[in-house]
Amino acid sequence: MKPYRSMLFVPGHKGSWADKGVASGADALILDLEDSVPAADKIEARGTVAATIDRLTAEGVRPDLWVRANPEVSGLLGGDLEAIVRPGLAGLFLAKVFTADEIVRLDAVLSHIEHREGIEVGTVQLIVSFETAVSMAHCEEIAGASPRVASLLGATGPNADVGRELGFEFTPAGLETLYLRSRIILAARANGLHHPVTGVWQDIKDLDGARRFCLDNRQLGYRGLVAIHPSHVAIANEVFSPSPETVDYCRRMIAAFNEAEAAGSAAVDFEGQHIDLAHVKTARGVIALADAVSANA
């Protein structure tokens, strides 16, 4: 999956709001058919989302377009898929998953629709949001359930599905979710998913808090933020982009190691730090991430 620094939710039944999402500079938009759409509008919202995907794709917008469909347990998922799987859809953001079997079933349905519609099978990717206790207990199985699974979301937030399921009380420091977020990181990395995303920060006005939230999760291993407000996008884009200073440091490290290696040493004292090939591999990864972010932006 591309390194999305920011993925912004847009209510699916408000087609014009997608333009605000594009203007925010988000790397991806998540057109929502689930919680942000009133029950009475869910069927009509399918057509609005489909039209939005067609319009923005025709306009060649930069952000990739994802859809949060209604979960399987709602009875609405099948109709959502029939309406919105089309050229221009990057993937599905999955809410309220329970087991890996759901992913396997969804994979089969998507393959059928893609084949029928002349879309290359496997095009539609999946991001799994862990919002149920059962899914969290089986996150490793879910992460490996299908090649379509491109990323995992370590979700937090006050008074929402995750907190209700686990019974914790949200704090900005996040100790109550540290185990959960760490386990999701491990599940992602163990299955070759290198760009797990975190979310959400619900306090729209506390931008300093949003920045701390992004920094804390970046340090834990997350690579982007699922945002609920455009004001959080620029913060996420900055925090989850390797800084020029960091990239320059990594380039200097690689150069110093290459020089030492050419002289017959496999380790070197670099600016007061002992480094060897393991450190250089990490530095190369940082540069690769920076290059990928730059290409996507």
* Binding residue ranges for substrate: 68, 131
**Which is nearest to 69 in space by CA: 118, 24, 109, 19?**
109
C-alpha 30/C-alpha 8 separation (Å) is 6
- Output the known binding site for Mg(2+): 131, 161
Neighbours of 115 (CB within 10 A): 11
Position 231, amino acid: S
Q: Exposed e or buried b for every residue in 87-98, given b needs 16+ CB within 10 A?
A: ebbbbbbbbbbb
Name the residue among 95, 32, 39 with its Cα closest to residue 66.
32
Q: Which residues of 135-163 are buried (b: 16+ CB within 10 A; e: fewer)?
A: bbebbbebbbbbebbbbbbbbbbeeebbb
Amino acid at position 29, single letter: L
Annotated binding site: 68, 131, 161
